[in-house]
Structure 1
Amino acid sequence: MNRRNLLQIAVAVAFLAVVGAREWSKSRESGRTPAAAQGPAIVQKKGERGFRLGSLAFEPCELAQRNTAATTAAFCAPFQVPENWDRPDGRKIDLHLALIRSEAPAPARDLAVLLAGGPGQAATESYPRVAGAFAPILRHRNLVLMDQRGTGASHPLECKQDLDEEAPSAQALDLARMRADTQACLEQLSATSDPAQYTTSAAVRDLEALRQALGAPQFDLVGVSYGTRVAQQYLMRHPDGVRSIVLDSPVPNEEMLGSQFAANLDASLKAQFAACGKTPACAKAFGDPYASLYRLRDQLAARPEEVSLRDPRTYATDKKPLGALRLAGLVRLFAYAPETSALLPLVIDRALKGDFAPMVGQSEFIAQEMSDLTGNAMQLSVICAEDAEGLVERPQDAGLLLGDAFVRVLREQCAVWPRGSRPADFHAPAKSDKPVLILSGEFDPVTPPRYGEAIVKGLSNGRQLVAAGQGHSVMGRGCLPKLVARFVEDLDAKNLDAGCIADFGPTPAFIDFNGAGP
């Protein structure tokens, strides 16, 4: 197990909103709250490009887009908070803050806020890839992007280590080495940071401090994956700051991150592969993909492969190890989105016939969506403080594709990592009468629809919509961007006309690399 896997496995154990997050792609003010009560207006002097909002001065800036020279226009402002909120006179950290201007000449005073996933994803880095999903909201509202502490350009917790090549025969977790590498990472970061201070609770205090600096507007929170935890915690601590909440692919407060990853993935795969069995062309070509997957897993456990393929960007030949552990991670990545999960029966079949390149090659593209999380240790600060004590090995998971590897890895890492504090009621169910819209994907391998069902029980003005055939992070799918904007405008989830979600459905499995059968 190489050093890179130290944090990559933690990335995989964390929410992994990134793959699904790439898929995010009105009419009048409701009048329920006077504009003045929702927050101040932007103050911009004639001839100046910058503006003031509350006590913050924003100036034009550009948000970079990964793997491209393109940028997204925004306005940025300096914002500083104590690293340790209980010691405000101690070290300060700078948080990267940006605002996307509404196209309206006089936008609503409340502010939409993107809460990114991970843990470890940065809002300013995520937004350019998902901007299309927020276009309807921007017709009437400004959008705030703030990299959560420890991510992006907000005092990131990044461990830069020399990387070794993974031995293709590595089949067991080297927990002793993971503990040593975690200790080395901690020592590296401790020179400039206190990792115990990079928790969800600290981020919630940052968010409220930002609201006050902006002039105390109400927030329309849009949380995705792990960001839904931040949204629920903010709602519990600062309900007066909330106007509305959208929870895309949510996790209940009661859930320990990582505790059910193996079971959730297995259930998702069974459901997706069942659709293949109901399609004559797919059933004829691949039989039972679920059984084939486990046959492939057993084959690679007994005899790992080394796969040669060309890098899609440099065209240089590279060799990638493929064993049972790596297979589990690749399949999980494929399962996040319907377009990639539709490839699974085909790539599994090809691998069983000795052609592993399609599976490994496609995974390289998917993994690019995770690259902003690689090396980020903030996720350990979150999980070790908030979830580690509730992570236990479940006997029923031992034979599943993911098995108990994630739980074992996290427990080993958290034995070393410092644990920050959390409120006593941190894992209490969220209860509120605020307007909340929950979006779930039918085949989500991480946060299945039952999570949304559990959350909505405590929300008297909440509603869940399930997108048939979809995976993780669905806000940008089909008509959902317009539905979200309508909800934010009218604050009425229960009477929202959501008939258009009937158009959703699964993506047919590929019979060959030309696509699905007729």
Structure 2
Amino acid sequence: MKPLLLPLALATLLAAPAAEARRIGQLEFTDCELAQPGTAVTTLAECATLEVPEDPTQPEGRKLRLKVGLAPARAAEPAADPVIFFAGGPGQSATEAWAGIAGGFARLREKRHVVFVDQRGTGDGHRLACPFPDAQLDATPGEEELVQMARDCLAALDADVAQYTTSVAVTDIEALRQALGAPKLNLYGGSYGTRVAQEYARQYPDAVRSIILDGVVPPELALGSEHSLNLEAALEAILGRCSADAECRAAFGDPFRTLYSLRDRVRAAPQAVATRDPRTFAPRELRLDEASVVVIARLFAYAPETAALMPLLLHEAASGRPEALVAQAALVYDSLTAQINHGMQLSVACAEDAPRMQRRAEDAALVLGDSITGVLLGQCSAWPRGPVSEGFFEPLRTDTPVLLLSGELDPVTPPRYGEQVLASLGKARHLVGKGQGHILLSRGCTPRLAAQFVETLDPAGLDASCLDVLDAAPFFLDYNGATP
């Protein structure tokens, strides 16, 4: 009888009725699996498609089909006002980023659907992707080479790239709200997504019930103009903790000084490193150069878990054992480039940031240098500039309840940005996670606080004492971890 079991089970599965689609307003959602590029992270959700005009002033012109994701509420009768998630970057797809942050929304989903849509230019929203140079294999490209990369990318895209700014993109959010039949939306934006949330709230104030801004970008800020300063401050604090700890100092000395000495050494004399690919374990030749050191310093500072590895990686590389550092740099670089749609990033930054940005001589000596500003200004010289709404760069002024979240050691959107935005808000509160990095939603009791805020609309009434237990992760003293 055993041979019959598999065919019988298969026949049963094939005969089973397909799951019914969920209809919300004008949109029909069906089951889908969402994956985060460059990682093995996946999650189940429901997906639909929203059609919008590429140019909102030409509604009969070319259409974009935007992918919409839904993480359904667990309540039998969900509240009418869903939560909407705005991804970061700029250049991240919301449906691709969702798997990495879904856990932070678990408490919010008790009573409300969470929806998210690929911002135009990302994911299935008419992707504006540009190939990234492989800085881990070849010499780091110069600025003129990167400008030519932008020209080549623009020539290859079938899109009016001027229509992919934040001010245009929020019209898609309003189209989504109307398609869902939602009376209002509860906004959650992370990093660049906080800019999207503030712009939507500015253009459609009557459509917003509450706002959560996580890793806050002030409207007045030219995003990228202070990246070098912010990273430097975060690195001094993170690596200074190691110098102040007896065991960490005994193992690694002064890792901040090691960072600079290593950077200077490999800037002058990059070296090839034969190692294994961190994903496939196949032989791979990488480079220990300035780019790999800066990738580790910048991106490992984003989260306390990776920050805890930084002194060890720097010490090993400085001691002639660079394999772990270059492998980790390749891993994080490959993952990042898989998630960012650089053409969309340029459409946003060239319209909204580059016109207010200039190179700062004092940045040149810092770890990150002035490369971000220089590259952006160069590439934007070849990229069309799209529309920016009136008042876009002014502080958001609203009495809509707002909860602001920051990590104490955030290397890109430090807590002072949250304080800056808080100053113009009428009913708001700013929470800072001790020892935390970029994006707080998934940390400690923050998911519960976020859900309570959306339910009560009372930021002042939140008991945030549960955040007091948060702190930086202990440093790895060797590859086995921290001292027990």
- Once structures 1 and 2 are overlaid, which stretch shifts more, 282-291 or 106-115? 282-291
Counterparts of 1:312-327 in structure 2 under 5 Å?
Answer: 312-327=278-293
Q: What is the rounded CA distance, in whole Å, between the counterparts of 1:382 and 1:463 in structure 2?
A: 28
Counterparts of 1:242-391 in structure 2 under 5 Å?
Answer: 242-374=208-340, 376-391=342-357
1:330 CA drift (Å): 2.4
The answer to whether structure 1 residue 232 and structure 2 residue 203 are counterparts is no
The DSSP-based 3-state class of the residue aligned with 1:438 is: strand
Please say if residues 188 and 212 of structure 2, whose CA atoms lie closer than 8 Å, have aligned partners that are also in contact.
yes
Counterparts of 1:123-134 in structure 2 under 5 Å?
Answer: 123-134=94-105
Please say if residues 49 and 60 of structure 1, whose CA atoms lie closer than 8 Å, have aligned partners that are also in contact.
no
The answer to whether structure 1 residue 49 and structure 2 residue 15 are counterparts is no
* AA aligned opposite 2:72: R
Higher relative helix content: 2
- The structure 1 segments of at least 4 consecutive aligned residues displaced by more than 6 Å after TM superposition are 67-70, 163-167
Q: What is the rounded CA distance, in whole Å, between the counterparts of 2:37 and 2:46 in structure 1?
A: 19
1:391 CA drift (Å): 1.3
Please say if residues 91 and 341 of structure 2, whose CA atoms lie closer than 8 Å, have aligned partners that are also in contact.
no
Between the aligned residues of both structures, percent identity stands at: 48
Q: 1:383 to 1:165 in 2, by over 3 A?
A: closer
Q: Which residue of 1 aligns with 2:145?
A: 177
Please say if residues 334 and 363 of structure 1, whose CA atoms lie closer than 8 Å, have aligned partners that are also in contact.
no
Q: Which residue of 1 aligns with 2:10?
A: none
1:174 CA drift (Å): 1.8
* AA aligned opposite 1:184: D
The DSSP-based 3-state class of the residue aligned with 2:230 is: helix
- Once structures 1 and 2 are overlaid, which stretch shifts more, 494-503 or 76-85? 76-85
Runs of at least 5 residues in structure 1 that lack an aligned partner in the other structure: 1-46
1:325 CA drift (Å): 3.2
The answer to whether structure 1 residue 455 and structure 2 residue 421 are counterparts is yes
Q: What is the rounded CA distance, in whole Å, between the counterparts of 1:61 and 1:409 in structure 2?
A: 38
Aligned residues: 467
Q: What is the rounded CA distance, in whole Å, between the counterparts of 2:454 and 2:401 in structure 1?
A: 9
Q: Cα deviations across residues 297-331 of structure 1 (Å, max 9, x unaligned)?
A: 11112211112210133221111122223321221
The DSSP-based 3-state class of the residue aligned with 2:413 is: coil
1:226 CA drift (Å): 0.5
- Once structures 1 and 2 are overlaid, which stretch shifts more, 422-431 or 50-59? 50-59
Q: Which residue of 1 aligns with 2:178?
A: 212
1:515 CA drift (Å): 1.6
Q: Which residue of 2 aligns with 1:60?
A: 31
Q: 1:81 to 1:454 in 2, by over 3 A?
A: same
TM-score of the aligned structures, taking structure 2 as reference length = 0.92
Q: Cα deviations across residues 178-237 of structure 1 (Å, max 9, x unaligned)?
A: 222211110100xx2111111101111110111112224211111001100000001111
Q: 1:70 to 1:363 in 2, by over 3 A?
A: closer
Q: 1:236 to 1:342 in 2, by over 3 A?
A: same
1:164 CA drift (Å): 6.9
The DSSP-based 3-state class of the residue aligned with 1:402 is: coil
Please say if residues 406 and 431 of structure 2, whose CA atoms lie closer than 8 Å, have aligned partners that are also in contact.
yes
The answer to whether structure 1 residue 74 and structure 2 residue 45 are counterparts is yes
The DSSP-based 3-state class of the residue aligned with 2:459 is: coil
Please say if residues 287 and 326 of structure 2, whose CA atoms lie closer than 8 Å, have aligned partners that are also in contact.
no
Q: Cα deviations across residues 447-485 of structure 1 (Å, max 9, x unaligned)?
A: 000000101111111111100001111210111111111
Q: 1:165 to 1:287 in 2, by over 3 A?
A: closer
Q: Which residue of 1 aligns with 2:65?
A: 94
1:378 CA drift (Å): 0.5
Counterparts of 1:127-142 in structure 2 under 5 Å?
Answer: 127-142=98-113
Q: What is the rounded CA distance, in whole Å, between the counterparts of 2:53 and 2:341 in structure 1?
A: 24
Q: Which residue of 2 aligns with 1:17?
A: none
Runs of at least 5 residues in structure 2 that lack an aligned partner in the other structure: 1-17
* AA aligned opposite 1:490: T
Q: Which residue of 2 aligns with 1:9?
A: none
Q: What is the rounded CA distance, in whole Å, between the counterparts of 1:69 and 1:121 in structure 2?
A: 17
Q: What is the rounded CA distance, in whole Å, between the counterparts of 1:157 and 1:475 in structure 2?
A: 28
Q: Cα deviations across residues 95-115 of structure 1 (Å, max 9, x unaligned)?
A: 111222111001111110010
**Aligned-pair Cα RMSD in Å:** 1.9
TM-score of the aligned structures, taking structure 1 as reference length = 0.86
Q: 1:151 to 1:293 in 2, by over 3 A?
A: same
Counterpart selection for 1:416 from 363, 375, 382: 382
The DSSP-based 3-state class of the residue aligned with 1:93 is: strand
